[in-house]
């Protein structure tokens, strides 16, 4: 089968992951791989090295691949990194920050949730107050791009505060790593978590963690689960040349290698970021010209996903609007905020400015409530 034999997708996914991938990424999954084979394990080791290089030019970092979605990766870090008497401070301004607190609660980890509400960035002054008031806090966690709204949180400023208090810093960069330039060392992050099916533009099946090796080594024996034991997963990959402890998502891993190649060919994270920014600029400008309003102010909006306030007309119905756009070749996302009626449109993945133009034409033709 050639690339030309692969069927085209019936629609473009304008969602924050899974997202639309290239035919070349999909095509490499047509071959089977053995998890014990040296050729396959060398691929895993290469991925791990490349992820570290994407994250920082500095020494002292390593990476771990973990089966499952991004939440599996977040849970592996939370349930492994916190010592028995540790305490987590989770900064939340949406569903994914709150989920970090939920994970801690399920594992009976002591935690505090500092919730700034869905429409505001985490308050750094309140962060300082919380750390000063509670010396029992050992770890601080925050989401970089909170896809509940599309807000981009100030992870560098938060990192400076966390470092000044000598706490362990966990960054959920699920929807931003690979699409927004960042340096994990400059951020001061001890653990940074993302997923194969986000800005690197692979397919769902595993998450990954870039970690400060010194801090990761401290987590030996702390894990509260077997399959999500981050330290054990790392140790096996280190000592057995890329072997996974349990069944590896081989096809997904191979697709990720191709996705990394395509990221490099595009010009790296910086060039991909430029494309995402241009997609977002065209989207927002066009939607505003059609009468839609963004939920967030521009200065805190990420170039990953945008929340739009639903039309106020009684005739408007999201499901019908969704169906009209899907019929025209575009799939958008329902809203997730609790304080407003919204819908969301992402512009990451194998998506280009011409696709934004096509979407805007489809939206214009689908405004049945006008």
Q: What does the domain layout of the chain look like in residue ranges?
A: 28-264, 268-365
Q: What is the CATH number of domain 268-365?
A: 3.90.1150.10
pLDDT(1) > 60: no
Confidence (pLDDT) at 36: 82
Distance CA 120, CA 142 (A): 13
Contact (Cβ atoms closer than 8 angstroms) between residue 258 and residue 116 = no
pLDDT(283) > 80: yes
pLDDT(297) > 80: yes
Which class in CATH covers the domain with range 28-264? alpha beta
Is 268-365 the same fold as 28-264?
no
User: Within 13 A of 176's CA, how many CA atoms are on the CB side?
Assistant: 26
CA distances from 52 to 177, 178, 193, 229 (A): 12, 12, 12, 20
Question: Tokens at residue 370, please?
Answer: 């006008």
Distance CA 193, CA 173 (A): 6
Provide mean pLDDT across the span 12-28. 94
Average pLDDT score over the chain? 96
Confidence (pLDDT) at 286: 98
Identify the band that residue 338 occupies on the pLDDT scale cut at 50, 70 and 90: confident
Confidence (pLDDT) at 302: 97
Provide mean pLDDT across the span 215-238. 98
Residue with tokens 């790392």: 234
CA distances from 214 to 137, 157, 160, 358 (A): 20, 23, 19, 49
β-strand partners of 262: none
- Terminus-to-terminus CA distance in the chain, angstroms? 47
pLDDT(111) > 80: yes
Identify the band that residue 307 occupies on the pLDDT scale cut at 50, 70 and 90: very high
Number of H helices, E strands in the chain: 13, 15
Tens digit of pLDDT for each residue in 136-181?
999 999 999 999 999 999 999 999 999 999 999 999 999 999 999 9
Confidence (pLDDT) at 270: 98
Contact (Cβ atoms closer than 8 angstroms) between residue 300 and residue 123 = no
Distance CA 176, CA 199 (A): 6
β-strand partners of 90: 113, 141
Provide mean pLDDT across the span 67-96. 97
Distance CA 236, CA 215 (A): 17
Provide mean pLDDT across the span 89-102. 97
- DSSP letters of 315-347? T--HHHHHHHHHHTTEE-EE---SSS-EEEEE-
β-strand partners of 334: 343
Identify the band that residue 8 occupies on the pLDDT scale cut at 50, 70 and 90: confident
Distance CA 20, CA 15 (A): 8
Peptide bond into 18 cis (omega under 30): yes
Confidence (pLDDT) at 5: 64
pLDDT(3) > 70: no
β-strand partners of 111: 88
Q: Is 53 helix (H, G, I), strand (E, B) or coil?
A: helix
């Amino acid at each position: 089968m050639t690339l030309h034999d692969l069927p085209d997708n019936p629609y473009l996914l304008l969602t924050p992951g899974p997202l639309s991938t290239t035919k070349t990424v999909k095509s490499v999954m047509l071959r089977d791989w053995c998890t014990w084979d040296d050729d396959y394990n060398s691929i895993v080791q290469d991925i791990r090295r490349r992820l570290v290089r994407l994250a920082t030019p500095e020494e002292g970092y390593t990476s771990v691949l973990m089966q499952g979605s991004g939440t599996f990766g977040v849970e592996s870090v939370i349930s492994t990194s916190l010592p028995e008497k540790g305490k987590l401070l989770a900064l939340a301004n949406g569903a994914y920050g709150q989920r970090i607190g939920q994970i801690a609660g399920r594992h009976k980890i002591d935690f505090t949730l500092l919730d700034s509400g869905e429409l505001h960035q985490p308050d750094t002054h309140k962060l300082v107050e919380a750390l000063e008031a509670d010396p029992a806090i050992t770890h601080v966690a925050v989401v970089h791009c909170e896809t509940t709204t599309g807000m981009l949180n100030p992870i560098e400023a938060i990192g400076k505060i966390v470092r000044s208090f000598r706490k362990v810093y966990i960054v959920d960069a699920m929807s931003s790593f690979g699409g927004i330039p960042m340096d994990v060392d400059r951020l001061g992050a001890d653990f940074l978590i993302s997923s194969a099916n986000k800005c690197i533009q692979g397919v769902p099946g595993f998450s990954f963690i870039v970690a400060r090796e010194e801090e990761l080594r401290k987590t030996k024996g702390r894990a509260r689960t077997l399959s999500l034991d981050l330290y054990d997963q790392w140790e096996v990959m280190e000592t057995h040349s890329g072997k996974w402890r349990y069944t590896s998502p081989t096809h997904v891993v191979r697709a990720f290698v191709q996705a990394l190649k395509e990221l490099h060919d595009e010009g790296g994270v910086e060039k991909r970021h430029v494309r995402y920014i241009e997609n977002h600029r065209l989207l927002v400008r066009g939607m505003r010209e059609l009468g839609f309003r963004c939920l967030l102010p521009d200065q805190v909006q990420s170039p990953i996903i945008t929340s739009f306030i639903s039309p106020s007309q009684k005739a408007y119905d999201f499901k019908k609007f969704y169906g009209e756009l899907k019929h025209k070749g575009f799939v958008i996302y329902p809203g997730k905020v609790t304080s407003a009626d919204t819908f969301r449109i992402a512009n990451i993945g194998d998506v280009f400015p011409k696709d934004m133009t096509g979407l805007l034409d489809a939206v214009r033709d689908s405004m049945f409530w006008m």
